[in-house]
Amino acid sequence: MKATKIPYALGLMATIALPALPALADGEVNVYSYRQPELIQPLLDEFTKETGIATNVLFLDKGLVERIQAEGENSPADVILTVDIGRLTEAKEGGVTQSLVDETINKDIPAKYRDPEGNWFGLTTRGRVIYASNDRVKETDLTYEDLADPKWKGKICTRDGQHSYNIGLFASMVAHHGEEYTEKWLTAVKNNLARKPNGSDRSQAKSIKAGECDLALGNTYYVGLMITNDKEPEQKEWAKSLHVIFPNAKDRGTSVNISGMALAKYAPNKDNAVKLMEFLTTPKAQEIYADQVFEYPVLPGAQPSEVVKSFGEIHADALPISDLAKFRKKASELVDKVGFNDGPAE
């Protein structure tokens, strides 16, 4: 790590003001997580129950890579848990992971959801799907390419085009069709938007319920979160107003992203870290995790929750996640080039 990075990272640590974790302790493993603690706690409780190894969790909403860089060789981080291939790639490129070759993990996790060099591993997937109005959209079978059809002019909603979830989808379009096609497609989709991109995936569902648009891009798991949201019953109504369409189900498959794990570079409790990572690929852990976050297990044969099953069967894009990640930068450039976030042309 270059010394010039330390002042910035240390400053960030002070801003975050997070508690320190014990660096070395028998029978413990330290987890740095971008996932909320309540989502992973059932997993960690089961791991401790089965192994007797205690878990310590440090949750960050940003700055995870910078924190580990600043801690350097004294970092207590053993395992990194995060969502999105963008963040997993950031951790690898930031030099805070180490390669792991583990027969158990490699047997359980399909190669397309693993870093070829062993620096990260997918645990669950989420589809980037189309939310469609029950009242105004009778189609149940659409492709991403169909979103460029002028018939949808003024009828599509989405969040910021530069958001990592959309960049993942746009990167898959570049991978399958090339840069020139994707630029034209993005321009056509932009001109079919009902408004400038904004809000979250949940707010796109709200807009469909309100009649502001007929179609929207969203992740599968948000539908599960809305359906089961007892604290905000209006979200249940948003979810009830739409049906999920898995684009390209009959050809190349639906674009997916992953949540995943990585072995931290200096992992002071490496043996325990590997035990935790192996545990996370077991059928029991895969189903606990998928149930908690309304995502799909990567372990072949492991089942998603009943709520997720109710959306329909997902046929995921066969391209390796690591290959799709190579096109994220180009996808981001194209979003700016076509002025996607400016919304539809007047």
> Which residue positions form the known binding site?
221-222
Q: Within the chain, where are the H helices?
A: 6-16, 37-51, 64-71, 85-93, 103-108, 164-177, 179-192, 201-209, 220-227, 233-240, 270-279, 283-293, 306-309, 321-325, 328-337
Phi, psi of 4, rounded to the nearest 5 degrees: -65, -20
Q: What is the distance between the alpha carbons of residues 183 and 44, in angstroms, rounded to a whole number?
A: 44
Q: Are 94 and 262 in contact (CB under 8 A)?
A: no
Measured at the CA of 80, the angle between CA 325 and CA 70, to 5 degrees, comes to: 100
Burial class (CB in 10 A: 0-12, 13-18, 19+), 23: middle
Spell out a b/e string for 292-326, using b for 16 or more CB atoms within 10 Å of the CB, else e: bbbbbbbbeebebbeebeebbebbbbebbbbebbe
Binding residues for Fe cation: 221-222
H/E run at residue 33: strand 28-33
Burial class (CB in 10 A: 0-12, 13-18, 19+), 188: middle
* Residue 332, beta-bridge partner list: none
295: left (phi over 0), alpha (psi -120 to 50) or beta: beta
* 34, 114, 194, 216, 254 from 334: Cα distances, Å: 28, 27, 20, 20, 21
